Amino acid sequence: MTETVAGPHPLAPEWLRPLTDSAALEDKLFPADAHRDDQGRLVLGGVDVETLAAQHGTPLYVISEDDFRSRARAFVEAFSEAFAPETDVDVFYAGKAFLSTHAARWAAEEGLCVDTASGGELAVALAAEVEPARIGLHGNNKSDAEIVRALKAGIGRIIADSLDELARIDQLARSAGVTAPVMLRLTPGVHASTHEYIATAHEDQKFGLSLTPSSDADTDQENPYAGSPAWSAVEHALAAEHIELRGLHCHIGSQIFEPEGFEVAAAKLIGLLGRVRARHGVELPELDLGGGHGIAYTEADSPRHPRQIAQALAGAVRTACDARGSRCHGSPSSRAGRSSVLPG
């Protein structure tokens, strides 16, 4: 059926195009294998939605496994190529996008790590038999029980948001007789090109440790980060007996289409890594430049290809390293999930 619309509706957003064919599918908004059959029915993963509804009832949430896997592979391949040969890369699927045992298993089988943000998400990833070393635990209000579960499971990274949480992780690891692999979540003061409600790296927000020194901190000409919560956390983590400080993490926001915010974040965090090396003689092995790469929620959105995203981020890291006369190495990682082109 074809429907012609004379002009935009006064209540419609400006980006919404008038319909000319109500049966047409917007390619950016559907899985790559979506199409209409000769009866006009929507087909996903080779099965029409009428059959799916008859089998499972409605409402029904349908994911194309083939499309999920192909997008996951595209990110892994793009980042591996962009950072080769000097750097190993981990790409994380954000469980908050959509997490079931099937989704977690698909992600892991295609080479992604899995990011969890609660005890429930961690339980799902473990139930899917994702290798614990390839799981990260986020959350700015983790319970002791969630931290203990992560420690006992042997997950690869616990991301600490505050000095208080860092102290609790150390205490709980001591009680469990283990060493906790920790990354510190920092707020680099980046105002990413996204909606203010999903920007997560500016100063006035609840996540992470600020790089800005407190107003009463003693100034240090050699270390602009001295006196900041981030620097205090680094020193506490390095001194803690039951914490292995793996590196630094940031997340500048979700639904980001432009690379500039990542460039600023890379420069600041690599600068801090250099100060840690100069002051403590410690080479932290990991840098996580997190943030959600934009997807097409609407026809007006134009996501970048994974290769464009990866090349831009690799370039930002190399530029920041070159500016400080250091060599890029270690293990950068990137996030991909609800705020990326992966489904969910």
What secondary structure does DSSP assign to 203-215, as a single string? SSSSSSEESSPPT
Q: How many domains does the chain have?
A: 2
The pair phi, psi for residue 213, each rounded to 5°, is: -60, 150
Instruction: Please report the sign of the dihedral spanned by the C-alpha atoms of residue 141, residue 134, residue 249, residue 272.
Output: positive
Q: What is the mean pLDDT of residues 249-275?
A: 86
Q: Which of 62, 79, 96 is the last residue of a domain?
A: 62
Query: Both 136 and 5 in a single domain?
Result: no
Query: Both 220 and 95 in a single domain?
Result: yes
Q: Which two tokens stand for residue 237?
A: 């983590």
Any domain includes 343: no
| Res 213: pLDDT | 76
Range of the domain at 12: 1-62
Any domain includes 233: yes
Query: Both 23 and 143 in a single domain?
Result: no
Query: Both 83 and 3 in a single domain?
Result: no
Q: Do 251 and 290 meet the contact criterion of CB atoms below 8 Å apart?
A: yes
Q: What is the mean pLDDT of residues 52-69?
A: 95
| Res 98: pLDDT | 93
Tell me the pLDDT band of 330, cut-offs 50, 70 and 90: low
C-alpha span between 268 and 224 (Å, rounded)? 11
Task: Give the domain CATH number at 231.
Answer: 3.20.20.10
Query: Both 99 and 52 in a single domain?
Result: no
Query: Both 232 and 134 in a single domain?
Result: yes
**Predicted TM-score (pTM) of this structure:** 0.85
C-alpha span between 258 and 197 (Å, rounded)? 17
Query: Both 25 and 71 in a single domain?
Result: no
